[in-house]
Structure 1
Amino acid sequence: MPATLAAFPNDFSFPSMPDRPPTRSVETLYGDHHGWLLGWLRRKLGHAGDAADLAQDTFVRVLGRPGDVEEVREPRAWLTTIAHGLVVDHVRRRTLERACMEAIAALPEPQAPSPETQLLLVEALVRIDTMLDGLPPKARSAFLLSRLDGLGYAEIAQRLNVSLSSVEKYMATAIRHCLALR
């Protein structure tokens, strides 16, 4: 028989997760530090809307690790570490979008894609960037040099100052990573 909402207590703790830490510590962390984090992000990004989005994303990450909250000795340093990673991702994606739009704008008028196609291109680039997020830096660089710059493995090895077999391993890692995310 399917569960109904009446089967769950009002505090939204689920019976199937008895060892889940109380959400009170997350609530306290949010109440005590959300305003500060929002200000920190606003100063970093210079845009209130983006700051609000990333503050929310930071606390979504915190909710994904509720057991960690009670062990944190320096909550602002911990929140800053999480938020900094999100800021780096955000800036990288914005830079990628801007570069794509500038490249499209530089095309002669008859070759310029429609606004719909431009949006699809930007979305595809952001998805690719997200797919590559989890790769080690050298595997990511090797993959981008191969796929975007069209370099062969020997040229990539020279650029990255690694052996040819290392490039082969990096490429295998990158391709497996991308296939796993499909």
Structure 2
Amino acid sequence: MSLSAVASPQPVAELYREHHGWLHGWLRRKLGCTYQAADLAQDTFVQALLAPSLDEIREPRAWLTTVARRIMANHLRRKELERAYLDAIASHPEPLAPGPEERALITEALCEIDALLAGLPARARQAFLLSQVEGLTYAEIARRLGVSLSMVKKYMLRATLHLAGIVKP
């Protein structure tokens, strides 16, 4: 990203001065944790620094709320994935359980996979997961989803092309 694509620090500083306290309070009420609220408020203002132009924003609190909601949703989704992963490895014997660094890398990879899959239509995502995670055949997926075998093939092709970056959903 070039420096010309980044907002000038002056409007961001003004936005921060005028709205940081309000945004932090709003996030604290939503999250119930002042520390998480502080982190997400900072992430929101980092996004403001990356915005092409803050001059066009007519309703700064509405804009900040929109950005903060997206960041909060990503944060909560990541925490949910991390919790599910930790629950899954909790059943492994201690020597087989990955260490903290490996868990962090796996959690990051799961978040990236989740973000990729989120770009797919629900049925294509479900068919892909049934195939790749549960190991079902296309015929079994068709029965489970109540669709034809040819539809499952279309879902899988769409998912494969999307994940390969060849087509958008």
TM-score normalised per structure 1 = 0.68
CA distance in structure 1 between the partners assigned to 2:145 and 2:47 by the alignment: 33
Q: Is the 8 A contact 2:127 2:141 kept in 1?
A: yes
Residue in 2 aligned with 1:103? 88
- The runs of 4+ residues in structure 1 deviating greater than 6 Å are none
* Aligned with residue 128 of structure 1, among 101, 113, 120: 113
Question: Residues 98, 161 of structure 1: CA spacing in aligned structure 2 closer, same or farther, 3 A cutoff?
Answer: same
Is 1:88 matched up with 2:73? yes
Q: Report the Cα distance in structure 2 between the residues aligned to 1:21 and 1:87, rounded to whole angstroms.
A: 22
Tell me, in whole angstroms, the C-alpha distance in 1 between the residues paired with 2:35 and 2:88. 26
If the length of structure 2 is used for normalisation, what is the TM-score? 0.72
Higher mean C-alpha displacement, 127-136 vs 41-50: 127-136
**Match for 1:56: what amino acid?**
Q
Indicate the residue corresponding to 1:42 in structure 2: 28
- What SS does the corresponding residue of 1:66 show, helix, strand or coil? coil
**Highest Rg: 1 or 2?**
1
Q: How much has 1:158 moved relative to structure 2? A: 5.7
Tell me what 1:6 maps to: none
Measured in 2, the distance between the counterparts of 1:159 and 1:114 equals 33
Work out the CA distance in 1 between the residues paired with 2:157 and 2:43: 32
Gaps of 5+ in 1: 1-13
Q: Percent identity?
A: 54
Q: 1: distance between equivalents of 2:107 and 2:7? A: 40
Q: Which runs of 5+ in 2 are unaligned?
A: none
| Residue 113 of structure 1, CA deviation | 1.9
**What is the deviation of 1:146?**
2.6
Find the aligned partners of 1:136 and 1:166 in 2 and give their Cα distance.
13
Post-superposition offset of 1:22: 5.1
Q: Which of 93, 99, 103 is equivalent to 1:115?
A: 99
> Using the alignment, how far apart are the partners of 1:22 and 1:124 within structure 2?
33
Secondary structure of the residue aligned to 1:73 is coil
Q: Is the 8 A contact 1:26 1:66 kept in 2?
A: no
Pairing 1:1-182 to 2, within 5 Å after superposition: 17=4, 23-67=9-53, 69-109=54-94, 112-116=96-100, 117-156=102-141, 167-180=152-165
Q: How many residues align?
A: 164
1:50-81 superposed Cα distances (whole Å, 9 cap, x missing partner): 222222222222233232x3233322122111
Q: 1:23·1:66 contact (CA, 8 Å) conserved in 2?
A: no
Inter-partner Cα distance in structure 2 for 1:39 and 1:159:
46
**Residues 95, 23 of structure 1: alpha-carbon distance in 2 compared, 3 angstrom cutoff:** same
